[in-house]
Structure 1
Amino acid sequence: MELDAGWFNELLGEMGQAVAWRRAALCPCRDPYSGAAQQGCPHCAGLGWLWAEPVSAWTGLASMRVVKEWAAFGLWASGDVVLSVPSDSPLYSAGENDRVVMENSSEPFSIHLTREGDERVRFPMVQVDRVFWINPGSGELVEGGVPTVGADGVPTWSDPAAAPDPGIQYSITGRKRPEYFMFKELPQDRAHFAGAPLPRRMVLRRFDLFGSQSAT
């Protein structure tokens, strides 16, 4: 019996998801002795890692049986995703700490920012549904206008009167793309058929758990 890698690629290409993949690299700010990242580094924000520009890729999602097996090892965290990546996808060469955005999925979010003019939403956006804040004088809630969020994550209002005043903390809700990072010890090759390029199994963990959303 021989498994056909091309058949797997075709199947996963049809039933999989589009993703945006960003390769990870160590930030040069790390201490050469301790390996610790420099706190407040303007490049990695103290995470110790930098990420390249996104590359479009595609992947399949593993079955629930595989997910349950991963949980049985005691390594599972809420939100983990197990992928089955075809060999013809750029994601096939992904490694530890790489970031992956699911481009065919969305989920709700609610965060607060402080109006400074350059504050940023630091995750992949889909839409903004609501912006509101507390009037510092009356204590009442103020409904603001819905801003446009650019590629840099900075919200801008076409009508300045609909935006919070400088220094005001405001809440912003909407929908975003789920983002993950490649968990350690994986990806895992299939050690069958003399190293044939069969799909690789990869475990992704929510990027929120990486350490901070201050990196971009």
Structure 2
Amino acid sequence: MALREVVGIFFLSAVPLVCLELRRGIPDIGIKDFLLLCGRIFLLLALLTLIISVTTSWLNSFKSSQLHVKEEEEKNEKRQKLVRKKQQEAQGEKVSRYIENVLKPHQEMKLRKLEERFYQMTGEAWKLSRGHKLGTPDLPEEPSGTVEEVVTVALRCPSGSVPRRRFLKSCSSQVLFDWMMRIGYHTSLYSLSTSFPRQPLAVEGGRSLEDIGITVDTVLILEEKEQSN
């Protein structure tokens, strides 16, 4: 639109100059010739106006088409981003389901096999039983270290650990087996013996710790029984 206005102003301003030049070059020009000349000039201006109008319309339509193409490209890019996002979410869900349904069960089964192998090698296969819990009997409340008639008993386990616990001397000696089972060593597979001299500990339900000779702080040996074929 601005281009058309500029050209129009240019030609309108050129008309008087053209007339002046024609008058200087042709002093005896008649009215008829002058009218013909003006008609030609106006015809030329109309033609130029038409050309400018068509050109401007074409440029506007070209710009509009470019803008439309750009908008379509932006829409396509947004759609592609949305599609990629949905694909990534779907892939993430597939990965999560694969981990939950395949990897986790496989890892758990592998860990169970390693656990079974470990307990079989250490002679603690009874821990693999799912039927009932073992090694969890009730124990008397542990007395304070300031109470009289208290002894501290330590168990030297096959694993290398040495758990310690305080008991009253008047406690039943059976409490040693209960404690042994409580920490994971079943009496059918393990036995207790004194450290020096090395001999099996005579534990009986009717006898107290003091009766079986535990009157001072003591370390007992927890060892695996020999399994008969």
Q: Which has the higher contact order (CA 8 A, sep 6+)?
A: 1
* TM-score range relative to shorter protein: under 0.3
| TM superposition score normalised by structure 1 | 0.21
| TM superposition score normalised by structure 2 | 0.20
The structure with the greater share of residues assigned to strand is 1
The structure with the greater share of residues assigned to helix is 2
